[in-house]
Amino acid sequence: MLRGAIPNFFCHRPIAFDEKLLELCNLGLANGISKEWPLKAQSPTRNKNMFLSGEESVGPVRAQSPETTASEGEESQSMLSPSIQRTAGENTGAFEVKFLIPEIIANHVQTWADGVMHRDAYADPSLGGAYQTTTLYLDTPDLGVFNRVNGHRKTKYRLRRYGSGNRIYLERKTRQKDRVSKRRCDVPIDELPHVTHANHVTHATHATHATHATHATHATGADHAAAWAGVWFRERVTGYLLAPSCRITYDRCAFVKAGEDGPLRLTLDRNIRGYATKDWDLTPVDEGHAILRGEVICEFKFRVAMPNIFKELIQLLKLETGSVSKYRRMMLATGLVPLVVAAEQGQVNA
C-alpha cells in the first residue's frame, strides 16, 4: 500500500497528496472517479458496447479507420483525429504531445482514460481494447527523410493498415513548428501497386479491350488514372523517389472525446516491432526487432489549448514530455542507420 507519497516508480519525484487520492492510487485508479476526486471528472454515459467511440450516448458507428468515426466515404467532423485535414487545402494542424512512460504508468493512464473518455471504435476486446496498426515508412535512396535534407525536413510519407483490413491509408505527415497536420486517403489494398505505377490503374481496362483497343478506351483509362484517390500521394512518391525503408506493427489503445475546441485523442502504443524492408507490403509484423521494451508511447492530440483533463492527468502522474520516433528508433534497431552517426546528429529520438 502507498503511504502518504507516490514513490519514484510512479512519478519523477515524491509528492504529497490527500487520503482520497491515496485510496484511488491504491485501487489503481479503478472505479474511483467521482465529484470528490481532484480531477472532478465524470464517467461519460456509455453505450452498451464500451468500445464504441463518439459523443455521449451515441449508437454504433461504422468507422473508415481508427482515426475516424465515419460511415464509408463520409468523415465525422466531431470525432475526426485532430491532426487529419478535413479538406485537401486545410492548413489547420493539431498539437501532438508525446510521453515515453513505463508500462505501470501506462496502465494508470489507461484506467483513467476509461473513466473520462470513449474507447476508439476499432478497439478489439481480444487485444485488451487495443487494435493493431501496421505502418510502411518511405524514404529516399540516401535516407533524405531520416536525415532531414532539404524538402524532407518537416514531412514524412507512409502507408497504414489497421489489423487485417482490406483498405490501406496513404498519408503525409507535416510538422510546422509545434503543430502537426496529416493529409490522408484510403484505397482498397489491392490497389497498392497504383502507388508507384500509374499504368496499373489502366491495366485492367486495356487488358479487357486488348483486341479492340481504341483511342476512346485509352482516354477512359487515362481519366480513371487521373481520378484515382491516391494520385496526389503517387506524385510525391515518384517525384521524391520514395521507397519503403521499414515496416512497423504495434498495438494501439486509443481514446476519444469531443472537446470545446474540437476532438481530443489519447493513444497508448505498445509492443512495437518491425524490420527493414524494400517491399511494398503491409502484412502485419508478427516477429521482428522489438523497440522500447517495457515502455509505452503515450500521446495527447488536440487542436487549440491543452485541455484541462490532459493538464490534470499530467499533474497527477507527473508526466514529462519527450521526443520519441518509432521510425527513427526502428531505423537504428535494424542497423540501417549506425547509432553513432545518429547520436552525433542528435537524431535518435527527434
More confident residue, 92 or 91: 92
Cα 96 → chain centroid: 10
pLDDT at 55 over 50: no
| Residue-level pLDDT at 36 | 32
CA dihedral angle for residue 303, residue 308, residue 311, residue 313, rounded to 10 degrees? -110
HSE of 222, CA atoms in CB hemisphere, 13 A: 6
Angle at which helices 215-227 and 231-240 cross, to 10° = 90
The string of pLDDT tens digits covering residues 240-272 is: 999 999 999 999 999 999 988 889 999 999 999
What count of other Cβ atoms lies within 10 Å of the Cβ of residue 125? 11
Torsion sign (Cα): 118, 122, 125, 131: negative
The region of weakest confidence among 58-67, 315-324, 326-335 is 58-67
The string of pLDDT tens digits covering residues 125-147 is: 888 889 999 999 999 999 999 99
Q: Measured between alpha carbons, how far is residue 143 from residues 140, 199, 290, 350 in Å?
A: 5, 27, 22, 15
Nearest C-alpha neighbor of 297 from the set 322, 331, 315: 322
More confident residue, 88 or 243: 243
The string of pLDDT tens digits covering residues 267-277 is: 999 999 999 99
The string of pLDDT tens digits covering residues 194-239 is: 998 876 554 443 343 343 444 444 444 554 556 899 999 999 999 9
Question: Side chain identity at 321, as an amino acid letter?
Answer: T
CATH of domain 47-345: 2.40.320.10
Question: Is the separation of the CB atoms in 35 and 28 below 8 Å?
Answer: no
| Residue-level pLDDT at 203 | 41
The string of pLDDT tens digits covering residues 95-119 is: 999 999 999 999 999 999 999 999 9
pLDDT at 70 over 60: no
Q: Per-domain residue ranges for the chain?
A: 47-345
Rounded to the nearest integer, the mean pLDDT of the chain is 74
The model's pTM is 0.72
- Report for 4-18, 72-86, 180-194: range of highest mean pLDDT: 180-194
